[in-house]
Amino acid sequence: MSNSFTLTNISQLVTNNSALGDGQLGVINDAAITVTDGIVSWVGQSSQADSSVPKTDVGGRSLIPGFVDSHSHIMFAGDRSQEFAARMAGVPYSAGGIKVTTEATRNASDDQLLNVARGLIKEMHESGTTTVEIKSGYGLDVATEERSLRIAAELTDEVTFLGAHVVAQEFADNADAYVDLVVGEMLEACAPHSKWIDVFCDRGAFTTEQSRRILEAGIKKGLQPRIHLNQLEQGEGVVMAIELDCASADHMTYLTDDDISALAASSTVAGLVPGADFSTRAPHYPRGRDLLDAGAAVALSPDCNPGSSYTTNMPFCIALAVREMHLTVDEALFAATMGGAIALRRDDVGHLSIGARANFALLNAPSYIHLAYRPGVPLISTTWKDGNVIFTKGDIA
């Protein structure tokens, strides 16, 4: 047991396993957790922890599974703060501002791209995120998409080829020719670095038919599909996304009742990204409450990207989900942890059952409810990944 440690005096331990504790979150009060070789080896009452394992008293704080962020666009360079300021001053959002980032990304060195992404991952660790998916999509040419993915693969196993983010400017008059490039030479170069393929199926990006073509080409190359959908207007992509067994369909600010029923009957997770609705001042938030009431699986993500949601902060999204989409705090926390894991089709993260990866975050709060109750307050004390501390404020022994 030389590689074991136990955290004791946890006021609330969220396991996300209802067999281990109370409710959907499987909460154990006055709990302890033991980690052996980076894996959760025991959870239970503090008083019953194995006395031979080295212990750290966490002082009555709460402990949650590390957040699983199933949607990020952190391979980019450049700054779009001016665009944000303009939008807040009344200029409506369109997907066009992306060309500013594309130009900067194409001109950036590998080291510059790596440093931007590393900096954002550090922010994620500071706010409790321990698993992140990373998309390409700011190169929009073969060389830059390929190197974005190659660099992303140094940072995570969850790498997503999003060459079909928008139509590259060079192909503005011929979107189908750009789709030809994406499903041809670009896919060929990018598939070896990627696990997933994604497409932005919306007004100003790709049609449902183009999206289908792109996802089917990726599937044929051994990639698994996920999709951006209905951020800007109601489209017809939900049926197609389900038909192709997309692991998640993300955004969906616009959804019909039929879409919601179809999602509930499918294995496609609704990936809600309320930070984007917040930062683009969308007319409304996605129908999170209706999705859950219908029985759909929901994931929450900050959708970190320089254009429409430049935040890495999952607690902020939990607060938005509770305040604006009427999720309960329990549902929002579950969506930010287990929901993300399901959206990435992972069973080793997002929960703290025996055998799970020891990815978790300690909150400077007696209850996880504070995540939504204290919006904007940096509550994370310490974050562990595979049993190693990856961030700490140094406030526990």
Q: Is residue 7 within 8 Å of 30, Cβ to Cβ?
A: no
| Window contacting Zn ion (CB under 5 A); options: 11-19, 118-126, 142-150, 301-309 | 301-309
Q: Is residue 355 within 8 Å of 363, Cβ to Cβ?
A: no
Q: How far is the CB of 134 from Zn ion (least distance, A)?
A: 11
# binding residues, Zn ion (CB under 5 A)? 1
Shorter beta-carbon distance to Zn ion: residue 64 or 205: 205
Q: How far is the CB of 280 from Zn ion (least distance, A)?
A: 12
Q: How far is the CB of 69 from Zn ion (least distance, A)?
A: 11
Shorter beta-carbon distance to Zn ion: residue 71 or 351: 71
Shorter beta-carbon distance to Zn ion: residue 303 or 330: 303
- Residue with smallest beta-carbon separation from Zn ion: 303
| Window contacting Zn ion (CB under 5 A); options: 125-133, 204-212, 281-289, 303-311 | 303-311
What are the Cα distances from residue 136, in Å, to 173, 199, 305? 23, 11, 11
> Could you tell me what percentage of the chain is helix, strand and coil, using 3-state DSSP and rounding each to the nearest 5?
35, 25, 40
**127-166 binders of Zn ion (CB under 5 A):** none
Name, in order, each residue with C-beta under 8 angstroms of 141's C-beta and a sequence gap of 6 or more.
106, 168, 170, 186
Place of tokens 């944000």: 84
Q: How far is the CB of 132 from Zn ion (least distance, A)?
A: 13
385's enclosing H/E stretch is: strand 380-385
Phi, psi of 362 (to 5 degrees): -95, 130
Shorter beta-carbon distance to Zn ion: residue 126 or 303: 303
Give the Cα separation of 143 and 3 in Å (integer). 43
User: Where are the alpha helices (H) located in the chain, listed in sequence order?
Assistant: 81-88, 98-107, 110-126, 142-152, 175-181, 187-190, 208-220, 237-243, 257-264, 274-279, 288-294, 314-325, 329-334, 340-343, 370-373
Shorter beta-carbon distance to Zn ion: residue 277 or 303: 303
| Window contacting Zn ion (CB under 5 A); options: 82-90, 204-212, 295-303, 363-371 | 295-303
Q: How far is the CB of 332 from Zn ion (least distance, A)?
A: 19
Q: How far is the CB of 42 from Zn ion (least distance, A)?
A: 38
Name, in order, each residue with C-beta under 8 angstroms of 54's C-beta and a sequence gap of 6 or more.
4, 5, 6
Shorter beta-carbon distance to Zn ion: residue 46 or 156: 156
| Window contacting Zn ion (CB under 5 A); options: 97-105, 298-306, 338-346, 378-386 | 298-306
| Window contacting Zn ion (CB under 5 A); options: 259-267, 300-308, 329-337, 351-359 | 300-308
Shorter beta-carbon distance to Zn ion: residue 70 or 359: 70
Q: Is residue 73 within 8 Å of 304, Cβ to Cβ?
A: yes
CA-CA-CA-CA torsion sign (24, 28, 29, 34):
negative
Q: How far is the CB of 46 from Zn ion (least distance, A)?
A: 41
Contact positions vs Zn ion (CB under 5 A): 303
